[in-house]
Amino acid sequence: MRNSLMIAQIILSILIIGAVLLQAQGTGLGATWGGGGETYHTKRGVEKVVFIFTIVAVVIFTLVSIAVLAVG
């Protein structure tokens, strides 16, 4: 049981890293330190799907992490 939870944790962490990197695409390096945020736009299409997927994946990752602690 613990091994399957650990494998799920690894897979989820890789998916979260990929989702975060997809979100950061196109923002530019200037936005990292506060620049480039002069305009506001809503998330649409694929951008919104990736954003929601990231939130769901982080919640599942947190639950799996708590389960690993409870089992171990």
The runs of H, that is alpha helices, within the chain are 2-24, 46-71
Could you report the per-residue pLDDT of 37-69, keeping only the tens digit for each?
566 677 788 889 999 999 999 999 999 999 999
The token duo for 53 is 């997927």
pLDDT of residue 25: 60
The token duo for 3 is 């091994």
* Alpha carbons 56 and 62: distance in angstroms, whole number: 10
pLDDT of residue 34: 59
* Alpha carbons 24 and 69: distance in angstroms, whole number: 31
What are the contacts of 28-32 at 24+ separation with CB within 8 A? none
The token duo for 18 is 């990929």
Question: Residue 28: is its pLDDT beyond 70?
Answer: no
